[in-house]
A = this chain, B = another copy of it.
Amino acid sequence: MRENSIKNLLAEGNKAVNGWCSTPSPFSAEVLAHAGFDSVTIDLQHGLIDYQMALSMMQAINTTETPVMCRVPWLENGIIMKMLDAGVAGVICPMVNNAADAENFVAACSYPPRGRRSFGPTRAVMHWGGDYAKKANDQMLKIAMIETVEALENMDAIMSTPGLNGIYIGPSDLSFSMGHEARLDPVEPAVVEAVATIRDNAHKHGLFCGLHCSDPAYAKDMHEKGMNLVSIPSDNRLLMGACKDWIAGARGSNAKEEAPKSY
């Protein structure tokens, strides 16, 4: 079986930088796959992407050694199973709010006897190799998002779910749920503290912890404070920023009024 390099990298305690595709475009995804990220995640939730497009994007990313993960739109059996059959190296599930959600998520990702994943890894076996069926439960990452007050309260129960590999924090929804403005790179003390608490608890449970970021300096700081994986906001946000910078540079203005920071 092909190595799942993002799993290994995190298992060895290294810091990962993760690309994030919201743009429905295989070529755009291929660009990210060549940029030097440790992994690239296709976002089927807030990205403008559904299954068929995600499949094409996986093919484009798999032209490189960069592993592909996905975020599914919701905790639903159908799409989780289909993305795994297509060969993703890991699944990020939004809005895991309690132990039942976490168990439900891991079971959807796992073959019997651990779970209820149905058998038929059509593309996965071609991509990962003939022993995929035997090793998939162990190798494919299962990552739960903690991003609500309810999830904060159920953190330990969620993190105790057997088979779960990591936690991913969505700061916008977490801020929203805690009564603050939705934004990335939180500065509100209560949210900053919640992020740190999740990270530390994840580590206690032997899980890695990832965070959705906006500014690379903020991401670097998070890495230094122990966060295992940081992500860019999205490919479209980076593209928009690069276009605005170029225009400002060509016009000699320094109009760096970016797209709104808050999501």
Residue positions of A touching B, CB distance < 8 A? 15, 17, 19, 22-28, 30-32, 34-37, 45-53, 55-56, 59-60, 62-63, 73-74, 76-79, 81-82, 85-86, 94-95, 111-113, 116, 118-123, 125-127, 130, 133, 147, 170, 172-173, 176-177, 179, 182, 213, 215-217, 219-220, 223, 230, 232, 234-236, 238-252, 259-260, 262-263
Contacts and interface: CB of A to CB of B under 8 A. Distances in A.
How many chain copies does the complex carry?
6
Given A45-B81, A48-B122, A63-B62, A236 B27 contact: yes
A230 B263 CA distance: 32
A245 to B, nearest CB: 7
Given A50-B51, A238-B239, A263 B133 contact: yes
A30 to B, nearest CB: 7
A66 to B, nearest CB: 11
A228 to B, nearest CB: 13
A120 B172 contact: yes
A31 B262 contact: no
A36 B243 contact: yes
Contacts of A234: 122
